[in-house]
Structure 1
Amino acid sequence: MRSLRSAVGAWLAFERLLLRVPVPSWNLGPGNPRQRARPAWLQQYELVGKIGEGTYGLVYLARRQQPLHRGVRIAIKKFKQSKEGDGVSPTAIREIMLLRECIHDNIVKLVNVHINYVDMSLYLAFDYAEHDLYEIIRHHREKLSSPINQYTVKSLLWQILNGLNYLHSNWIIHRDLKPSNILVMGDGEEQGVVKIGDFGLARVHQAPLKPLCDNGVVVTIWYRAPELLLGAKHYTSAVDMWAVGCIFAELLTLKPLFQGIEDKNGQNPFQLDQLDKIFKTLGHPTADRWPTLLNLPFWQANRNLIQGRKYENPGLYSIVQQPAKSPAFDLLSKMLEYDPAKRISAAQALDHQYFRTEPLPGRNALVPGSPGEKVVHYPARPVDYSTDFDGSTAPPQSNTNLAPQQQQRGEHMMQVPAMHQPLHLPAIQRMPQNNMNNFSSVNQQGRRKEPDSGNQNYNNYQPLNKSRRM
């Protein structure tokens, strides 16, 4: 615990330093922003285009220019300035703080951090993942009109839980799990490997123990747990497991399970329409089923309004089209348990019978699950080629390194991969969860330890190093 306090103290000192760095006087010159002198770090990358935009900033696709990594694609996330306009966004600081310590196969890898002192904008460079679950689900729903094969669903879900178990074992709650934040590598040695991304809302919890409700509304509404919607003062990593349950259902049905309409008036976490969608599927919660329900602020205040609505409960199994006694439905129902204390954990889910029945999950989620099954060529995430790093629009830069098909369609043409090789699930090893002092350490350089090529079980944790300082 003392090392944790030291690490937090060191990081807070670094944060204060970032917020007070003086802005140098640069001769930017007149004219178009593209004509301005660019910092040296930006010359390490060749911009391809913009691949995403969110509340906290923009995400770009670029290629590395260094001789050892020339042409390697990388995702660069540019954070907007803090609302106070006085320095680096606190969201960016949190994301750096966590990702520089999280080393795991199923967690997105932070490659570098850059600061543009002209406008105090921060750029985070990540390994580029060509796909995300949102685009994979949409491709099956709108282009193929067919479900995702069982092997791919199982492999995607197992890897999500594997990464989440690592986070929860290290007292980290992600708090923003949704399909667009679940990335999937498209080629190379990590083809088909899942990477949990976007740690802007992630928090360390229980060290020290404090109410997390002070952080405001968390989790995109369709994936928000009922205890959050009912104003829980304290919540746990169980909120992530509810979100994973929603994602699991979406992988099975190709549509969001609880598609509520968010009331954005104020910061009140109570969302009646979202609760309505949940209760229509799972039925009303009761004190017998959820003993702490009566203590939740918005349950007491809105109890009559909530219980006044009557539902003809169709049953979750009919929506996800899974037999009520199947392993898939059993796992899903345990993820969507109302009582957070009874909700299945990531570690327990990894041991569930669902992952021990055929087809077994594999490291590469994008290959066929059985002989004769067709390979699905998923499109890469869309790229806007007309946007520069500073947000201005400009003609596309040279894309000579792209294949002609990619220039026309923005798609990655995957080669037909070999059949998957299942994981040896009985050999799963997990981190102890009793306290933070049980952390093992990464090597001194903080680099990822590559899994043994002869071991098909890739669940090799590289946990936080308590000897390092934030």
Structure 2
Amino acid sequence: MNDFPNYFSNGIQNDTDFVWKEDEWAVSKVYKKGVMRMVPVDYNVWEKTSFKSIVKKIEDAEDGTTGRNPPWEVLCLHRVPDCNRIVKPIQASYKGVNGNDCHTYNLIFKEYELGDMSKWRGEKFGNKHPAKTVPEAHLWRCLVHMTQALAVVHNQTGSTQKHPGTLIHRDIKPQNILVADNGSAYPSFKLHDFGLSRVAYGREDRRGPGFSGTYIWQPPESPYINTTYADIWAVGALIHYLAFGEYLVEPMRPNWVDDLDEEDMHEVQKYRNKYSSSHNWYLALGPRIVSPINLGEVSRITKAEVMSLDKHMYKPKYSDRLNYWMMECLEFDPVERVTVERLMKEMIPEARAALLDLGGEKALTDFELVFE
């Protein structure tokens, strides 16, 4: 049973009858503060549940709320219908009041054994000797699945209840994409961790700066990240990451601000004190550099030398059309950046055809967006 008002029940995945009891599970690994992997304490618990392991996340109730109101992540997920592209907790358990008089919850999530995108890419491809190229089918599938996820998050499809404002994820990165085994050689990609999300209600919300999230995955217009445009940039950055294993911030140079034009220099300097260090300031506001993924080996090595990047990152080329859609997501001008609507209408049919060519019907496993 989930321990907060029924009004927020949509913030929990509703297709499971799993009941979590704290004394039946033991911590096997701590991922970070407040997030841990748990396993059953004995075989009897294992036998009665379909989950061999779960992830427990400890979160406070939303600031300024009273009583058993949910954490911010659940408040955000309440806006999002259950589907096969978004990860929701399978249970929420009220812990009570902690030492800071905050109401605290255990959020229980299914664990995905393939891990997040960063772990999966490293283990399957990047950490091999020599490193392996991520097959193109995986990049297409990631682009499709994240487009579908954003269509749901941004309230473009699937919602039976129109909510005011637009939900922006604001922290799309490899560590927040879970890789799910669907029984085929082509895994699925799921968006999770809405703890830094924001609801943008009007023009001022969207125009205002934001200083949350993981700076290296944010767009060139950062700190203006409270927009759907910023989420789309991050999806393009995921495709670039799958191809190259790198983020898009240019290597830091001394006196990098001096290279900016007067207007950009003023904008960058204005927010200097908003960041905890010069390094974070640079990661948030420093120049972005995007490398095409359809270049040949020789061209890439030349480009790598110019960029002072490691040559080992440059692998056999991907298709022109995959590169086209990635670059549309990574358009530097946010107003010119491709929209979710266009990706859904034009990119996904192309992806279907490309996947059929690359892997046949099996490459289309879990291709469609499904509401649960």
Match of 1:358 among 354, 358, 362: 354
Counterpart of 1:330 (choices 318, 321, 324) is 324
Question: Is 1:75 paired with 2:66?
Answer: no
Q: CA deviation at 1:88?
A: 9.2
Offset, 1:173: 1.1
Matched, 1:161 2:147: yes
Give the partner amino acid of 1:99. Answer: L
Please report how far the alpha carbon of residue 95 of structure 1 lies from its aligned counterpart in structure 2 after TM superposition: 0.5
Residues 260 and 274 in structure 1, CA contact (< 8 A), matched pair in contact too = no
| CA RMSD, 1 decimal | 4.3
For 1:349 and 1:94, how far apart are their aligned partners in 2? 29
Partner letter of residue 326 of structure 1? D
The separation in 2 between residues aligned to 1:194 and 1:320, in whole angstroms, is 24
Structure 1 residue 278 and structure 2 residue 288: aligned?
yes
The 3-state SS of whatever aligns with 2:71 is helix
Q: Report the counterpart of residue 340 of structure 2 in structure 1.
A: 346
In structure 1, distance between residues paired with 2:249 and 2:61: 33
1:230-253 per-position Cα deviation (integer Å, ceiling 9, x unaligned): xx4x84201011111111101011
Cα distance, 1:73 vs structure 2? 2.7
Deviation at 1:357, TM superposition (A): 4.3
Match of 1:138 among 109, 122, 144: 122
* Structure 2 unaligned regions, length at least 5: 1-6, 9-18, 157-165, 253-267, 293-304
Alignment size in residue pairs? 300
> How many Å apart are 1:217 and its aligned residue?
0.7
CA distance in 2, matches of 1:225, 1:160: 17
Q: 1:190 to 1:58 in 2, by over 3 A?
A: farther
Post-superposition shift, 1:325? 8.3
CA separation of 1:109 and 1:235: change in aligned 2, threshold 3 A: closer
Aligned residues of 2:210 and 2:226 also touching (Cα < 8 A): no
> For the Cα contact (< 8 Å) 1:75–1:127, is it kept in 2?
yes
Rg larger in structure: 1
Residue 96 to residue 188, structure 1, CA distance change in 2 (3 Å): farther
Quick check: 1:75–1:126 contact (8 Å CA) kept in 2? yes
Residues 285-314 of structure 1 show CA distances to partners (whole Å, capped at 9, x for unaligned) of: xxxxxxxxxxxxxxxxxxxxxxxxxxx986
Q: Please give the alpha-carbon distance, in whole angstroms, between the structure 2 residues aligned to 1:100 and 1:200.
A: 13
Q: 2:221 aligns with which of 219, 227, 233?
A: 227
Map Cα deviations across residues 21-50 of structure 1 (whole Å, 9 max, x no partner).
xxxxxxxxxxxxxxxxxxx96446422422
The letter of the residue matching 2:274 is: Q
Partner amino acid, structure 1, of 2:235: V
Which residue in 1 is equivalent to 2:256? none
Q: Paired residue for 1:151?
A: 137
How big is the shift at 1:214? Answer: 6.3
Query: Are residues 94 and 212 of structure 1, via their aligned partners in 2, closer, same or farther at CA, if it must alter by over 3 Å?
Result: farther
1:62, CA displacement in angstroms?
3.4
Task: For residues 358-411 of structure 1, give each alpha carbon's deviation from its aligned partner in whole angstroms, at most 9, with x where no partner exists.
Answer: 3349xxxxxxx65xxxxxxxxxxxxxxxxxxxxxxxxxxxxxxxxxxxxxxxxx
1:343-367 residue CA offsets vs partner (Å, 9 max, x unmatched): 1123322422751443349xxxxxx
In the aligned structure 2, how far is the partner of 1:147 from the partner of 1:111? 35
Please give the TM-score of this superposition, normalised by the length of structure 1: 0.53
Structure 1 position 96 matched with structure 2 position 63: no
CA–CA distance in structure 1, aligned partners of residues 133 and 218 of structure 2:
25
Higher helix share: 2
Q: Check whether the contact 1:106–1:162 (CA below 8 A) recurs between aligned residues.
A: yes
Whether the aligned pair in 1 keeps the contact of 2:85 and 2:191 (CA below 8 Å) is yes
From 157, 172, 187, the counterpart of 1:177: 172
Structure 1 stretches lacking a partner, 5+ long: 1-9, 12-39, 283-311, 362-368, 371-418, 425-455, 463-470
Structure with the bigger RCO (C-alpha within 8 Å, sep 6+) is: 1
Whole-angstrom distance in 1 between the partners of 2:343 and 2:119: 25
The secondary structure found in structure 1 opposite 2:28 is strand
Give yes or no for the alignment of 1:192 onto 2:187: yes
Measured after TM superposition, the shift of residue 213 of structure 1 is: 6.8
